[in-house]
Structures are given as structure tokens and as C-alpha cells.
């Protein structure tokens, strides 16, 4: 099936050239995908076959794309790099929380628990390393800066806690 005739292009002149360019762009950016056998990514979500953790049944749904989880983890790593050790812990946690909250507000559709757990794990690891560097503590920092310290004392946002209010988020 050819969808090239389904486009509307408004231009003052050179309509044929505009159409050719649009078709070339669309040829690069589109593909045919057979769902549920295949999945595809769109706007940060992977769409395709999902499995219910409660019933074990499969369904067509969305989940956070792995690329987006990886990108957020890279951004958290940039926020907690050695060059930021001079700022206050509260400032850093505020910046991390803002990034996490914005990301979680966008990625709250479908089963998000696994993605949230991965981001929480990475954020704890990076914040502990940052705190160890700042306070000149050797080791991984799990004893000196336990999770309770990060979440309760410093106020780090825990994404996993946000899924308690989302009935569809558990996976």
C-alpha cells in the first residue's frame, strides 16, 4: 500500500519538488512493523508485546524505551560528576529531583516499575559516589550514606514510591 498520496503539502511554488523531498524524508523515517511480533519506539516509548505480571498474559502496550532510561542515567551522571563537588548537597539533590520528577511525569504510562527501579538504583549509586568524593570517604558509601540518609535526610525523590498511585505501573 502506498501512502505517498495521503500527504498534504502547502507551498507557493515548486509543489512537485516539495513532494519529492517529503517522500525522500518519509522513506528514511518510516518502516513497516508487524506488531505484536516486533516492537517499535515512538516518543520515548517502546510499543509492542508486553506481559502482565499478575496474569502472565500478553497484550499490546507501551513501556519506557531503554534508550530513554540510559539517557536519563547519563544526565544524572553529569549532574554528579567530580566537577560539581563544590556545590551543596541540597542544591544537587534539588537539581536531581527536578530532572527525575519531569522525567517521571512524562514516563508514567504503562508498566514503569522496572525503568523506575533502574533509575533509582543508578541515582543512589551516583549520589553516594558524589558524597564520598565531597566528604573524602573511601569505599562505595553504602555504610556511610545508606538509602534512608539519601531519601529521608537529603530528600532525594524515590521514583519507585511514585508507582504506588499508578495501578497500571507495576510490572
Asked whether residue 171 carries a pLDDT value surpassing 60, the answer given is: no
Per-residue pLDDT reduced to its tens digit, 9-54: 778 888 889 888 888 888 876 777 788 888 889 899 999 998 888 8
The pLDDT value recorded for residue 1 is: 41
Look at residue 110 and tell me whether its pLDDT is greater than 70: yes
Residue owning grid cell 522496572 = 114
The domain ranges of the chain are 1-30, 66-165
Mean of per-residue pLDDT scores for the chain: 88
Task: Write 60-63 long-range contacts (CB < 8 A, 24+).
Answer: 60/35, 60/36, 61/110, 61/111, 62/109, 62/110, 63/110, 63/111, 63/112, 63/114, 63/115, 63/171
Q: How many degrees, rounded to 5, is the angle at CA 163 between CA 131 and CA 57?
A: 130
**SS3 of 11, please?**
coil
Q: Is the pLDDT of residue 154 over 50?
A: yes
pLDDT tens digit sequence for 120-131: 999 999 999 999
Written as nine digits, the cell of 116 is: 523506575
Amino acid at each position: 500500500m502506498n501512502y505517498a498520496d495521503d500527504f498534504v503539502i502547502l507551498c507557493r511554488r515548486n509543489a512537485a519538488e516539495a513532494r519529492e523531498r517529503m517522500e525522500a524524508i518519509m522513506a528514511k523515517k518510516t518502516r513497516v512493523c508487524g506488531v505484536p511480533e516486533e516492537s517499535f519506539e515512538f516518543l520515548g516509548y517502546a510499543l509492542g508485546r508486553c506481559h502482565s505480571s499478575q496474569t502472565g498474559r500478553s497484550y499490546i502496550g507501551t513501556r519506557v524505551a531503554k534508550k530513554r532510561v540510559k539517557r536519563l542515567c547519563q544526565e544524572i551522571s553529569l549532574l554528579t560528576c567530580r566537577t560539581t563537588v563544590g556545590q551543596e548537597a541540597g542544591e544537587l539533590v534539588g537539581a536531581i529531583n527536578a530532572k527525575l520528577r519531569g522525567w517521571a511525569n512524562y514516563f508514567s504510562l504503562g508498566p514503569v516499575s522496572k525503568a523506575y527501579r533502574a533509575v533509582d538504583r543508578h541515582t543512589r549509586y551516583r549520589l553516594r559516589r558524589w558524597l564520598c568524593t565531597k566528604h573524602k570517604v573511601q569505599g562505595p558509601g553504602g555504610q556511610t550514606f545508606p538509602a534512608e540518609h539519601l531519601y529521608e535526610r537529603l530528600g532525594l525523590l524515590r521514583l519507585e514510591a511514585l508507582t504506588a498511585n499508578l495501578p497500571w505501573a507495576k510490572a
